[in-house]
Amino acid sequence: MQVIESVAAFRQAYDAAAKPLGLVPTMGFLHEGHMALVHRAREENATAAVSIFVNPTQFGPSEDFATYPRDMDSDLAKLEEAGVDLVLAPTVDEVYPAGFDTHVDVGRIGERLEGEHRAGHFHGVATVVCKLLTIVRPNRAYFGQKDAQQCLVVQRLNEDLNLGAEIVVCPTVRDSDGLALSSRNVYLSADERVAALSLNRSLRLAQELHSQGESDAPHIRQRMHELITTSPLADIDYISIADANNLNELDTIDRPALVSLAVRIGKTRLIDNVII
Ligand code: PAF
């Protein structure tokens, strides 16, 4: 496994690498959710590449960039064991050298939900993913469904700027109690972790109501709201039931819908979703 810090060195490794090449872009602190993407990239490509870069431009000024969990040694050991060939682990200066001044705006799809609650977040995501796809030039790039809106943003970006990767979206990986895996779960105390289960429970409630024939989106949102607010530790940012293709909020569920939510449990902000 080659661990590469510079863009120039990655270009050389790219030229020598067998194709097709699959990339898993990550911010490190790898858990089983990331590893499911890595295993899939390993199975489907001649070269498996992973990027590890905690991208400062997708964190707001009051967010957790400085304290975001990092563990490069453990990450590299996991990737080595999974048979990864190339790891791109650049410094912030390598990705954003002095004078850097170009940003990618994906437009409408990035404005709602996370975009509304985390100003500038998707400019940062789109800019860094655009750079990663341009540096690494993967045939396939793997993303997790847990970040559903991010997947839509990346698909839009890839298509609009002709970046040429196949974007592969992989299912959310959950702990046995249903909590979606996230690097931020390490912030949760024991009590908060119990409270965090309400995200998945409310999504299952939405699925259940819908499968019983309920198509009134405000009613389902209300029931989810009631379930989550039974916990005093939970503070809801949003609950959305939206058209899964364009994220327009729905009144009646008459097409594939993304049910998504963001909830603060103590100081930790968690997101989760299902498609119904
Ligand atoms: O999902 C993530 O970990 C990040 O948003 C990504 C796609 C690696 C871009 O920094």
What's the pLDDT score for residue 145? 98
Counting as low any pLDDT under 50, the low residues of the chain are none
pLDDT in tens, 159-195: 999 999 999 999 999 999 999 999 999 999 999 999 9
For a ligand 1 pocket test, name from 58, 65, 149, 155 the mutation site with the most ligand atoms within 8 angstroms of its C-beta.
58
Closest atom of ligand 1 relative to the 147 alpha carbon: 1
What's the pLDDT score for residue 110? 96
Per DSSP, 242 falls in state E
Q: Which residue has the tokens 């902000």?
A: 269
What's the pLDDT score for residue 178? 97
State the amino acid at position 2 in one-letter form. Q
Q: Is the CB of 125 under 6 A from ligand 1?
A: yes
C-alpha angle with apex 108: 107 to 112, nearest 5 degrees? 120
Q: What is the pTM of this model?
A: 0.97
What's the pLDDT score for residue 175? 97
What's the pLDDT score for residue 20? 98
Long-range contacts of 207-214 (CB under 8 A, 24+ apart): 207/259, 207/274, 207/276, 210/253, 210/276, 214/253
pLDDT in tens, 62-83: 999 999 999 999 999 999 999 9
Residue 190: phi and psi, rounded to 5, are: -60, -45
Distance of CA 57 to the CA centre of its chain: 15
What's the pLDDT score for residue 244? 98
Q: Is the CB of 27 under 6 A from ligand 1?
A: yes
Structure tokens at 106: 């994906």
Quickly list H helices, the chain. Answer: 7-16, 32-44, 72-81, 92-95, 114-117, 121-136, 148-160, 190-211, 217-228
Do residues 53 and 46 lie in contact, with contact meaning Cβ atoms separated by under 8 Å? no
The 3-state DSSP class for residue 46 equals coil
What's the pLDDT score for residue 104? 97
Closest atom of ligand 1 relative to the 55 alpha carbon: 10
Q: Which residue has the tokens 């939206």?
A: 242
- Angle of the 121-136 helix axis to the 148-160 helix axis, nearest 10: 50
Q: Is the CB of 25 under 6 A from ligand 1?
A: yes
What's the pLDDT score for residue 50? 98
